[in-house]
Amino acid sequence: MSKTSAAPQSRRPVWRIFLISLITTTIVIVGVLFRPVAPKPIAAKPNDAQTTLADTTPAPSPTPVGMVWIPGGEFSMGTDDPTQMICGGPDAMPDARPIHRVYVSGFWMDATEVTNEEFGRFAQATGYITVAERPLRKEDFPSAPPENLVPGSIVFRPTSEPIPLQNHLDWWEYVQGTHWRHPLGPGSGLAGLEKYPVVHIAFEDAETYAKWAGKRLPTEAEWEFAARGGLTGQPYSWGNELKPNGKWMLNIYQGQFPTHDRAEDGFSGIAPVAQFPKNGYGLFDMAGNVWEWCSDAYRPDTYATRSALGTVTRNPTGPKESFDPAEPGAIKRVHRGGSFLCTDQYCTRYMIGSRGKGEVSTSSNHLGFRCVKTSR
């Protein structure tokens, strides 16, 4: 299989199609349901969010290097405000509803996504081999010929000309030999990318790194509380306008997707960490750049179940088992934050209260993570 194969989709090996289908996570940005609409400005509307009540207990010390203290407290989780967008219309994103009240205890959080430099130190110290570097198991793909059981990961491929946005396989490709050290394929490397987020990270990779670092992955509630930066019910971690005073606040995609990213925010593709203003808690890139793993198993009805209890949920850790009706057999965890491929024309999942999801062994070049640490 060539990484530059232009074979028609129908001729691709079944196992490969299956693999690519598993990245629905991130393909929420422009999935099969999406179609172009004229972009409209997003403004906050009255919603069910109630005031964020952050704890006032002073931050413990010392603060771990590279982390910031998130005070914890009670807040309104979820969103009913994904207005005007294909995957965020009035009836869309039901998994982010209803808005409900949650309490999280204070914790430290990495100020940025984990970088290639940081992940490299972990790999060197432990010899860890990521999921994307390991051969595929015959038992998982019994119909695949042995020569196709090759390590790899999924890479975004811009198209040469505009296409109907009906088949995400037109711009995603499973590329042999792709993993965190070769993020755009076997011919690519990390020179000059030390401060970029590490990508092609499967859930197991993120958890293993976090444990090695004496940290853990954030729960979805911790992630959202932190992303809100102390604000109440705002769609963005900086407020209620996508571009306050015309200024881009995150790395997403501008222009004709998936053909040409105009990079109006300064970056075509992935950006180094911390290139945009930090939020109220000192966190960078809680929207855009790369999706981030959370520890919670994904179910679309998690919020409905919680809300039905009628109480403030304390430190929720997600359902015991995942279930996604779109792929009932896949084991999925929550993704948050959106990526550099999100586009304001199609999708609003870089809005704080919205959710993403991903099959646990699947990675791609816009999926990374950051860690948290509990104060003892």
Buried b (16+ CB within 10 A) or exposed e, 275-314: bbebbbbebbbbbbbbbbbbbbbbbbebbeebbeeeeebe
Q: Is 339 in the site for Ca ion (CB under 5 A)?
A: no
- Binding piece for Ca ion, criterion CB under 5 A, among 115-123, 188-196, 264-272, 293-301: 264-272
If the CB atoms of residues 251 and 279 are measured against Ca ion, the closer one turns out to be 251
- Binding piece for Ca ion, criterion CB under 5 A, among 88-96, 110-118, 261-269, 306-314: 261-269
Q: Is 322 in the site for Ca ion (CB under 5 A)?
A: no
Q: How far is the CB of 340 from Ca ion (least distance, A)?
A: 5
- The residues that bridge with 356 in the sheet, in sequence order, are 335
If the CB atoms of residues 173 and 265 are measured against Ca ion, the closer one turns out to be 265
Residue list 231-260, contact with Ca ion (CB under 5 A):
251
The two structure tokens encoding residue 178: 């792709």
Q: How far is the CB of 192 from Ca ion (least distance, A)?
A: 18
Residue list 136-175, contact with Ca ion (CB under 5 A):
none
If the CB atoms of residues 40 and 262 are measured against Ca ion, the closer one turns out to be 262
Q: Residue from 209, 223, 267, 346 that binds Ca ion (CB under 5 A)? A: 267
Q: Is 276 in the site for Ca ion (CB under 5 A)?
A: no
If the CB atoms of residues 130 and 251 are measured against Ca ion, the closer one turns out to be 251
Q: How far is the CB of 288 from Ca ion (least distance, A)?
A: 7
Q: How far is the CB of 279 from Ca ion (least distance, A)?
A: 19
Number of residues that bind Ca ion (CB under 5 A): 3
Asked if 54 and 103 count as a contact pair (C-beta separation under 8 A), the reply is no
- Binding piece for Ca ion, criterion CB under 5 A, among 9-17, 41-49, 263-271, 321-329: 263-271
If the CB atoms of residues 257 and 281 are measured against Ca ion, the closer one turns out to be 257
Q: Residue from 265, 296, 324, 344 that binds Ca ion (CB under 5 A)? A: 265
Q: How far is the CB of 239 from Ca ion (least distance, A)?
A: 20
164, exposed or middle or buried, with CB in 10 Å at 0-12, 13-18, 19+? Answer: exposed
If the CB atoms of residues 265 and 324 are measured against Ca ion, the closer one turns out to be 265
If the CB atoms of residues 122 and 267 are measured against Ca ion, the closer one turns out to be 267
- Determine the Cα–Cα distance for residues 107 and 334; give it in Å rounded to an integer: 19
If the CB atoms of residues 99 and 270 are measured against Ca ion, the closer one turns out to be 270
Q: How far is the CB of 265 from Ca ion (least distance, A)?
A: 4
If the CB atoms of residues 203 and 291 are measured against Ca ion, the closer one turns out to be 291
Q: How far is the CB of 168 from Ca ion (least distance, A)?
A: 19
Q: How far is the CB of 269 from Ca ion (least distance, A)?
A: 7
Determine the Cα angle at 189 with ends 185 and 194, to 5°.
Answer: 130
The residue ranges that bind Ca ion (CB under 5 A) are: 251, 265, 267
